[in-house]
Amino acid sequence: MKPSLNLNLLDKEKTYIVAVSFGPDSMALLHLLQQEHFKIEVAHVNYHLRKESDLEQSQLEQYCLQHDLSLHVLDVTSLPKGNLQDQARKIRYDFFKELASTLNAEGVLTAHHQDDDLETAIMQSQRTMLYEYFGIRPLGSWEGIKVYRPLLSSTKQDLIDYCAEHQIPYTIDQSNTKLIYQRNRVRSQLNLLSPLEKNKIRLEFQKENSLRQNITQSLQRWIPQNSISTSTYMKWDTLSQFMYWILLNQSRGIHTPITEAWLKRIDSMLRSQKPNIVIPYSKDWHIEKAYDKVWLIKDQDTKPYRIVTPQGTIKFSLLTIHLDRLKQLPETFILRSCKPNDVIKIKNYTKPFRRLAIDWKMPLFLRRVWPVFTNLKGDILLLPRYQKNHDSKANNWLEILE
């Protein structure tokens, strides 16, 4: 069958980085993109792991020169210790990401095909891990850069036949036959199966992916919110909890991986008798358990503030303050975030803010940004009481994002 691009994925007005190894898959992809007149920049990584590596780079350089294609080569002199394939993948995609940023490209195109998709799904099923999707998505990402796979409807043989038909040069990486790698072992086993048998396996994975799609749809109502009740979360099964954090990551642009160990940590936190617990999440985010809810909070949103005589409506990420609804403020004053030792007078006695916040069952992140009004000397003029329905009344001057 003649391979074809998934044109629904791509936009001919955009520029794309094309990952080309000089194997038949990527060379077929490159040629197909040329035939469709896409704006492309060719990217090649030379790891120098095989004696043929320099010759393949040279042949690709000749091809790009003949076809007036821009070629960008990363010369890898050494690989970090660890899993060779994982390290090589990271180096490769970091290079693509840098190129896409420098060249203002829409994303990266790779030549993953139908056989790769099935191999990946089987490898995933052999591991004791949770996955949001079995196989390879047509559109994915790497640390924020889009990764397009427009050849997933084509088989490896389709691409080899296409190269032969159009006399497209390529080489076969002989390391792909070494059974020391898991993917190669899976590939050799699949080669023993008939197309019908392969399709039966593929349908089973499609059912698993459909299940995850249904879970995703059922979770959508909670994703825009910063919090979820612990009772709701604890009713979900492990897969639903896993998908919840995956979706939160995607919606916030967070790249922290979700593992079963992480889910167990969240479970332990929610089962704890402590009313408030804070755990780091990613570079700029943290998780807070606050009484009957669990929150995903951006660190920047809880930074202290101090404004001299603000006017109108002041909007923070977690609070909105309508100053025009307040009548008792003097002409000059200071609006700042509360401090634990701020003291408020209540009838005939005084009480520090830290004790009030505990009595009010205020989440820790709100304690760090709770507003207080003072005069220029620092005397407290107004420290509002915390209540969960601040934003439910039209005449309230303080709205809380909860």
CA distance 45 to 29: 17
pLDDT at 86: 82
* Neighbouring C-alpha atoms within 13 Å toward the C-beta of 179: 4
| Structural domain boundaries in the chain | 7-191, 205-299, 303-400
Q: Interhelix angle for 182-190 vs 114-125, to 10°?
A: 110
- As given in the structure block, the two tokens for residue 149 are 């796979």
Which of 270, 274, 240, 275 has its CA nearest to residue 258? 240
What distance lies between CA 207 and its chain's CA centroid? 24
pTM above 0.85, yes or no: no
Q: Within the chain, which residues score under 50 in pLDDT?
A: 390-392, 394
- As given in the structure block, the two tokens for residue 196 are 């019908």
- As given in the structure block, the two tokens for residue 264 are 């167990």
pLDDT at 402: 64
pLDDT at 395: 57
pLDDT at 391: 47
Q: Give domain 7-191's CATH architecture.
A: 3-Layer(aba) Sandwich (3.40)
pLDDT at 77: 85
Residue 110 in contact with residue 147, Cβ under 8 Å?
yes
Q: Give domain 205-299's CATH architecture.
A: 2-Layer Sandwich (3.30)
Whose structure tokens read 């940023």? 101
**Cα dihedral 166→168→174→180 (10° resolution):** -80
Angle at 372 between CA 394 and CA 277, to 5 degrees: 90
Residue 180's contacts (CB-CB under 8 Å, 6 or more residues apart) are: none
| pLDDT tens per residue across span 30-51 | 999 999 999 999 999 999 888 8
Cβ atoms < 10 Å from Cβ of 39? 13
CA distance 56 to 365: 56
Q: How many helices (H) and strands (E) does the chain have?
A: 12, 19
